[in-house]
């Protein structure tokens, strides 16, 4: 995993010069409590233990003692704290990927879901830490920046489908948002499309901004930047896709996009419906590309939807492996990687050459 590196300057420079007395003073406890805390003894209250470990880390006190201390505390249980497992259909794939990686290394996964409630998440994290999980995967169901939760203490953590705020140094993995639109638009341009529409969500998010920016960038790179962009917005579900699709498709054939890139598979389902309502066939009259590769939608549509897969399962797998490596190394991050995964196209049957190109052939 590349060259050793610690996120903390003090840890790098002062590791050998800090005494246990200094840690005790800084943490406001006795030296005995410090050594008990670092060896994970139950005689020290969880809050105190976490505070001492945090202070020891901040001062860069004896990383090896600290590492062995952390190893002593291992329970073989990893916590996964998510914000929307219950309400997003693909959340399960992150859990599944994390669980696969956990099983391969004999760890048990415990999941908590805050449903976006930060107060609840703080309680859940404290509860996981009180139950002495070896580490925590912090998952977000929509790519976003995440501040460091205070409740974490010194527990090793890795972010999934999220990016840490600039002052927080932890490994993370997220989709490379720009690549999503690029992959889709390049595929459509290769098939000869020049009038490409965008069915965009009205929600504001990193994901949405990244896909819309990527759409315009890709059009420009394809030499189609000059043409007035065909963008319609709706809710990020089938109804929103139906409305956006109708606005894009209900116009003279010379004005109509020959292909539509959709914010997600559910909006793509709505675009199929708008096309059918207007007597247009997918892909003969209009090609469609989605995002997510949500099996229950993309594979279920007729014709099957060509879509850019969001690698939820892979992100879960990477997050868990990285977290277990971090724990094996005694909680000291070697590389603090911010991984951005390039997304791949899953080809089904919703893309063909545009009508005019077919006629010319």
Rounded to a whole number of angstroms, the minimum distance from the CB of residue 19 to its own copies is: 32
Is 92 near its own copies (CB under 8 A)? yes
Please name which of 248, 140, 143 lies closest in space to residue 200, comparing C-alpha atoms.
248
CB 287 within 8 A of CB 352: yes
Is 87 near its own copies (CB under 8 A)? yes
Q: What token pair was written down for 49?
A: 């233990």
Candidate ranges 13-21, 149-157, 187-195, 268-276; the one touching its own copies (CB under 8 A): 268-276
Is 281 near its own copies (CB under 8 A)? no
Q: Which is nearer to its own copies, 214 or 319 (CB)?
A: 319
Is 280 near its own copies (CB under 8 A)? no
Total residues in contact with its own copies, by rule CB under 8 A: 47
Q: Which is nearer to its own copies, 1 or 276 (CB)?
A: 276
Is 320 near its own copies (CB under 8 A)? no
Cβ count within 10 A of residue 40: 17
**HSE-CB of 180 using CA atoms within 13 angstroms:** 31
Q: What token pair was written down for 199?
A: 């069915």
Long-range (24+ apart) CB contacts under 8 A made by 159-167 are 159/319, 160/94, 160/98, 160/315, 160/316, 160/318, 160/319, 161/94, 161/312, 161/315, 162/138, 163/338, 164/338
Rounded to a whole number of angstroms, the minimum distance from the CB of residue 129 to its own copies is: 12
CB 261 within 8 A of CB 185: yes
Candidate ranges 15-23, 44-52, 125-133, 332-340; the one touching its own copies (CB under 8 A): 125-133
Q: Which is nearer to its own copies, 55 or 301 (CB)?
A: 301
Q: Which of 137, 180, 297, 320 binds its own copies (CB under 8 A)?
A: 297
Is 192 near its own copies (CB under 8 A)? no
CB 240 within 8 A of CB 273: no
Question: Contacts with its own copies in 200-259 (CB under 8 A)?
Answer: 237-239, 242
Is 85 near its own copies (CB under 8 A)? yes
Please name which of 359, 335, 322 lies closest in space to residue 156, comparing C-alpha atoms.
322
Please name which of 149, 198, 147, 141 lies closest in space to residue 175, comparing C-alpha atoms.
141
User: How far is it, in rounded angstroms, from Cα 314 to Cα 321?
Assistant: 11
Is 120 near its own copies (CB under 8 A)? yes
Interface residue list for its own copies (CB under 8 A): 42, 75-77, 85-89, 91-93, 95-96, 99, 103, 108-113, 115, 120, 123-124, 127-128, 130-131, 237-239, 242, 266, 269-270, 273, 276-277, 294, 296-297, 299-302
């Amino acid at each position: 995993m590349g060259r050793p590196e610690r996120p903390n300057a003090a840890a790098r420079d002062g590791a050998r010069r800090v005494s246990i007395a200094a840690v005790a003073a800084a943490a406001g406890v006795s030296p005995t409590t410090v050594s008990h805390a670092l060896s994970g003894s139950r005689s020290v209250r969880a809050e105190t233990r976490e505070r001492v470990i945090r202070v020891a880390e901040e001062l860069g006190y004896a990383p090896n003692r600290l590492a062995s201390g952390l190893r002593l505390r291992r329970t073989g249980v990893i916590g996964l704290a998510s914000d929307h497992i219950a309400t997003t259909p693909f959340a399960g794939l992150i859990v599944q990927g994390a669980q696969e990686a956990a099983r391969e290394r004999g760890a048990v996964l415990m999941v908590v879901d805050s449903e976006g409630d930060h107060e609840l998440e703080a309680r859940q994290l404290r509860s996981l830490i009180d139950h002495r999980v070896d580490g925590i995967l912090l998952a977000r169901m929509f790519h976003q920046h995440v501040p460091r939760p205070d409740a974490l203490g010194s527990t090793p953590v890795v972010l999934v489908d999220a990016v840490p705020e600039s002052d927080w140094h932890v490994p993370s993995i997220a989709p490379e948002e720009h690549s999503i639109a690029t992959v889709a638009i390049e595929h459509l341009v290769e098939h000869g499309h020049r009038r490409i529409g965008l069915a965009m969500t009205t929600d504001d998010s990193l994901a949405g901004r990244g896909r819309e920016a990527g759409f315009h960038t890709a059009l420009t790179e394809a030499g189609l930047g000059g043409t007035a962009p065909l963008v319609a917005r709706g809710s990020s579900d089938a109804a929103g896709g139906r409305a956006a699709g109708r606005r894009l498709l209900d116009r003279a054939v010379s004005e109509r996009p020959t292909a539509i890139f959709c914010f997600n598979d559910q909006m793509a389902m709505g675009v199929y419906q708008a096309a059918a309502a207007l007597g247009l066939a997918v892909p003969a009259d209009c090609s469609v590309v989605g995002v997510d590769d949500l099996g229950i939608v993309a594979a279920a549509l007729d014709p099957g939807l060509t879509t850019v897969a969001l690698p939820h399962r892979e992100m879960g797998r990477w997050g868990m492996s990285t977290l277990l490596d971090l724990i094996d190394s005694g909680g000291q991050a070697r590389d603090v990687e911010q991984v951005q995964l390039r997304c791949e196209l899953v080809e089904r049957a919703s893309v063909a050459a545009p009508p005019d190109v077919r006629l010319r052939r």
